[in-house]
Chains A and B, each alone.
Chain A
Amino acid sequence: MKSLKLIVGGTIAATAALSTFAMAGETVDSIKAKGYVQCGANTALAGFSAPTSEGKWEGLDIDLCHAVAAAILGDASKARFTPLTAAQRFTALQSKEVDLLARNTTWTLSRDTKVGLNFAGVNYYDGQGFMVAKASGITSATELDGATVCIEPGTTTELNLADYFRAQGMSFEPVVIENAVEAVQTFFSGRCDVYTTDASGLASYRQTAPNPDDFIVLPEIISKEPLGPAVRHGDEEFADIVRWTHIAMLEAEEKGITSANVDTFKKDSKDPGIQRLLGTTGDMGKALGVSDDWAYNVIKQVGNYGESFDRNVKAKLGLERGLNALWTNGGLMYPAPIR
């Protein structure tokens, strides 16, 4: 009889444990409860998401995650990072291993629908390019017929590549290696004629070559890659916070508010738009379910979008703003009104 009791008791206990797991609250509640935001980051992509030699994460995507922590918890340092390969990222988000994917992910229709993601905006407009060894003498992507191409699996890169070669009537042989760092090293060792990924990624990886000057990026850009943060489908509250955190950083840049001068703006500004943004008037924070000084915390502790871009993408990769300039400077970054 003893074993019987054990079995019945065990079953009840297991069921109870499973129910609590299944009924775990919304993402924002769980972030507030645990006291930090868990972000899925790229394993190593300088400028966007890479650990420093001291093990601190840095990059444009990393900044966004810190900004979300500042918006929800009032403290940008309350962000933790899980490095994920392209192939691991969606499963990690779906299974709640991470709250937010801040990991240069291309916004596509099937990911927005079938994969169950919600894209909270675009924090980098990119396109896919090709990198080859200078010694190969290739100057254009149209000369790549029959080439061996190193790529990372589970990416839009992989699909665009096949589409592009099909459209051009050319053939290629893929070498698919899951870890991006391994894949790019394989290319540098000469196993592949071409490495392909987003242009920003090419700039980033080129720096890791034994001799970066031995490699060139071809002029052709074969796709649109709107890269942005993604959250789980079905949690609108959290999606809104991430979306408006990104917009607040853009808005701050447009208004000339930086981490250095945000206190002066908060104290002195007579602009109602700035007052709403910084929470001195209105209830924008309350509408999002966070404190009213959410955007102030983001700007004060992380900075505006331009600041983040300059210290990460520009300083580390030497890339100019280009499409990622504000709309007022001819770029595509256009913050929706905070009102």
Chain B
Amino acid sequence: MSEPLKSRKRLSSLIYSEKARGVFAQILVTGGIAFIAWYLISNTFENLANQGIATGYSFLSLESSFGISEHMIEFTPADSYGRALMVGFLNTMKVSFLGIIFATLIGFVVGVSRMSKNWILSRIAAVYINLFRNIPVLLQLIFWYTLINNALPSPKRALEVLPDVFFSNRGVLFPVPADHPAYFWMGVVFVIALVGVWLLRRWALAHRDRTGQTFPYAWAGLALVVVSVFITYLVCGAPTEMSTPVLKGFNFKGGAKLSPEFLSLLIGLTLYTSTYIADIVRSGLLSVPKGQEEASTDLGLKPSQTLMHVVLPQASRVMIPPLTSQYLNLTKNSSLAVAVGYPDLVSLSNTTMNQTGQAIEAISIFMAVYLGISLVISLFMNWYNKKMALVER
């Protein structure tokens, strides 16, 4: 008699148990979501099949037959859609990477200027922030693009601002060293030297902890890099040949070029994002109690040491999370490239989905790529954040 009673009791206790109900609800929710997802996906494929729209990713290997103006890897219309998307991805990375660097530099300068005791400097920074922050970024891109195209002359009447540096509505052209194996080896040596600097820094810090003596590792490291790269250059035959832009037919040939599309996108994204970064820098600096600065000054640290070793490390705890989100924003905003004709990932995905009709596949690719980029940026910033975080005891 006691056995069934016990099991019934156990069963009823399940209904009243908070934990069991929680598990049950979660199973239901997960099941519901899975069902909706399955329903949507199967419906989509059924509808696509009914409309006779091709599905699958095999189109990636087909010949693209369209041209792309800017490519960091070789590209001709005979190359595949997959390669075209790769070109777009690299272009997105190029403009985002440079945009993040410039926006951070400008943001720091403007943010610190905003805090300056110099009234004029602080006002200029405030005007800059309010101006570029409050105009929608898309308008800014179109503004810069129109300005570059209309203000600069045609290639035949290009402005030669420096010898062999031309400004025209085809972009900014400048000479670069002509191809030579020396540059490859200089790059290799540069990377090796960077590792050397890192080891040097580790040794210097350990040495300081042991003996209390500081070693100027930053200067020594810089010297190491410059000297080793320069020696490589000499050893490889010191090439001096340059590739200079020369007007030939319609356009300049040779040299390197920054196109109006790239420039307007980079300028627009950089200025817009830098205003947010400036405010983040300002709030970060404000968050450090004044006593910290006073105390370190009283200890006899120089203002630069105070900034580098006392104020910035504490401010960065406040700054890193919002900075991460600005870096992500800049990268995502780079997809506005379509408006000014810069061939980024979205622009080339659009073209691809239009020529092949495979919208879902093309969108799934660029969504996955943007998600990937976002995850990498936030992982890196989280790691950095953890490294910088104050270790509390």
Interface residues of A (CB under 8 A from B): 1, 3-4, 7-8, 10-11, 14-15, 18, 22, 86-87, 90-91, 94, 110-111, 113-116, 145-148, 153-155, 158-159, 161-163, 165-166, 172-179, 182-183, 186, 189-191, 193, 232-234
- Given the interface contacts A22-B43, A172-B67, A178-B339, does A166 sit within 8 Å of B149 by beta carbon? no
CA distance A155 to B351 in the complex (A): 8
CA distance A313 to B36 in the complex (A): 49
Choose one: B50, B78, B145, B339; the contact of A234 (CB below 8 Å): B50
Any A CB within 8 A of the CB of B69 = yes
Nearest 5 A-B pairs (CB), nearest first?
A154-B354, A115-B357, A116-B53, A162-B77, A233-B52
Q: Which residues of B contact A182 (CB under 8 A)?
A: 142, 339
Contact in complex: A114, B53 (CB < 8 Å): yes
Contact in complex: A146, B339 (CB < 8 Å): no
Q: Which residues of A contact B347 (CB under 8 A)?
A: 153, 176, 178
Which single residue of chain B is at the shortest CB-CB distance from A117? B357
Contact in complex: B52, A113 (CB < 8 Å): yes
- Given the interface contacts A148-B170, A159-B355, A162-B67, does A234 sit within 8 Å of B54 by beta carbon? no
Contact in complex: A87, B66 (CB < 8 Å): no
Q: Which residues of A contact B250 (CB under 8 A)?
A: 146-148, 193
CA distance A283 to B356 in the complex (A): 40
Contact in complex: A87, B357 (CB < 8 Å): no
Any A CB within 8 A of the CB of B68 = yes
User: Considering the complex, which residues of chain B in the window 344-360 have a beta carbon less than 8 Å from any beta carbon of chain A?
Assistant: 347, 350-351, 353-359
Contact in complex: B67, A161 (CB < 8 Å): yes
17 A-B pairs whose Cβ atoms sit less than 8 Å apart in the complex? A4-B25, A11-B32, A15-B36, A22-B47, A90-B354, A94-B359, A110-B355, A113-B52, A147-B251, A154-B351, A166-B77, A176-B69, A176-B347, A178-B341, A178-B347, A182-B339, A190-B149
Contact in complex: A234, B52 (CB < 8 Å): yes
Which single residue of chain B is at the shortest CB-CB distance from A93? B51
Any A CB within 8 A of the CB of B284 = no
CA distance A145 to B355 in the complex (A): 25
Query: In the complex, how many angstroms separate the beta carbon of A41 from the nearest chain B beta carbon?
Result: 17
CA distance A173 to B145 in the complex (A): 18
Choose one: A90, A148, A166; the contact of B357 (CB below 8 Å): A90
CA distance A15 to B78 in the complex (A): 46
Contact in complex: B67, A174 (CB < 8 Å): yes
Contact in complex: B29, A7 (CB < 8 Å): yes
Q: Which residues of A contact B101 (CB under 8 A)?
A: none
Which single residue of chain A is at the shortest CB-CB distance from B54? A114
Query: In the complex, how many angstroms separate the beta carbon of B294 from the nearest chain A beta carbon?
Result: 54
Choose one: B29, B40, B145, B150; the contact of A18 (CB below 8 Å): B40
Which of A87, A147, A161 has the most CB atoms of chain B within a 10 A radius of its CB?
A: A87
Contact in complex: B28, A8 (CB < 8 Å): yes
Any A CB within 8 A of the CB of B228 = no
CA distance A183 to B43 in the complex (A): 37
Contact in complex: A11, B36 (CB < 8 Å): yes
Contact in complex: B47, A115 (CB < 8 Å): no
Query: In the complex, how many angstroms separate the beta carbon of A14 from the nearest chain B beta carbon?
Result: 6
CA distance A7 to B35 in the complex (A): 13
Contact in complex: B53, A94 (CB < 8 Å): yes
Choose one: A11, A148, A176, A189; the contact of B146 (CB below 8 Å): A189
Contact in complex: B169, A174 (CB < 8 Å): no
Contact in complex: A114, B357 (CB < 8 Å): yes
CA distance A8 to B249 in the complex (A): 70
Contact in complex: B350, A153 (CB < 8 Å): yes
CA distance A8 to B29 in the complex (A): 8
Contact in complex: A232, B51 (CB < 8 Å): yes
Which of B21, B50, B350 has the most CB atoms of chain A within a 10 A radius of its CB?
A: B350
Contact in complex: A159, B359 (CB < 8 Å): no
User: Considering the complex, which residues of chain B in the window 287-338 have a beta carbon less than 8 Å from any beta carbon of chain A?
Assistant: 338
CA distance A175 to B170 in the complex (A): 11
Which single residue of chain B is at the shortest CB-CB distance from A138? B250
Contact in complex: A159, B53 (CB < 8 Å): no
Beyond A22-B47, A94-B51, A172-B67, 20 additional contacts (C-beta under 8 Å) are A1-B21, A4-B21, A7-B29, A11-B35, A87-B354, A90-B354, A91-B359, A110-B356, A115-B356, A116-B54, A154-B350, A162-B77, A165-B67, A173-B69, A174-B66, A174-B69, A182-B339, A189-B149, A190-B154, A191-B170
CA distance A234 to B28 in the complex (A): 37
Contact in complex: B32, A173 (CB < 8 Å): no
- Given the interface contacts A8-B28, A11-B36, A18-B43, does A178 sit within 8 Å of B350 by beta carbon? yes
Q: Which residues of B contact A8 (CB under 8 A)?
A: 28, 32
Encode B65-89 as 1/0 by CB contact (under 8 A) with A: 1111100000001100000000000
CA distance A94 to B48 in the complex (A): 8
Contact in complex: A177, B51 (CB < 8 Å): no
CA distance A234 to B145 in the complex (A): 43
Which single residue of chain B is at the shortest CB-CB distance from A21? B43
- Given the interface contacts A4-B25, A161-B67, A176-B69, does A110 sit within 8 Å of B354 by beta carbon? no
Contact in complex: A116, B77 (CB < 8 Å): no
CA distance A114 to B28 in the complex (A): 39
CA distance A232 to B250 in the complex (A): 43
Which single residue of chain B is at the shortest CB-CB distance from A112? B52
Q: Which residues of A contact B261 (CB under 8 A)?
A: 175
CA distance A178 to B77 in the complex (A): 19
Any A CB within 8 A of the CB of B340 = yes
Q: Which residues of A contact B339 (CB under 8 A)?
A: 177-179, 182
CA distance A172 to B347 in the complex (A): 19
CA distance A24 to B35 in the complex (A): 21
Choose one: A7, A161, A183; the contact of B25 (CB below 8 Å): A7
CA distance A151 to B65 in the complex (A): 14
- Given the interface contacts A146-B249, A175-B69, does A110 sit within 8 Å of B51 by beta carbon? no
Any A CB within 8 A of the CB of B245 = no
Contact in complex: B150, A189 (CB < 8 Å): yes
Q: Which residues of B contact A166 (CB under 8 A)?
A: 77-78
CA distance A176 to B67 in the complex (A): 9
User: Considering the complex, which residues of chain B in the window 17-69 have a beta carbon less than 8 Å from any beta carbon of chain A?
Assistant: 21, 24-25, 28-29, 32, 35-36, 39-40, 43, 47-48, 50-54, 65-69
CA distance A230 to B341 in the complex (A): 27
Any A CB within 8 A of the CB of B248 = yes
CA distance A154 to B362 in the complex (A): 13
- Given the interface contacts A172-B67, A175-B341, A233-B51, does A4 sit within 8 Å of B355 by beta carbon? no
Any A CB within 8 A of the CB of B343 = yes
Which single residue of chain A is at the shortest CB-CB distance from B252? A146
Choose one: B66, B142, B146, B260; the contact of A158 (CB below 8 Å): B66
Query: In the complex, how many angstroms separate the beta carbon of B169 from the nearest chain A beta carbon?
Result: 5
Contact in complex: A146, B51 (CB < 8 Å): no
Query: In the complex, how many angstroms separate the beta carbon of A59 from the nearest chain B beta carbon?
Result: 22
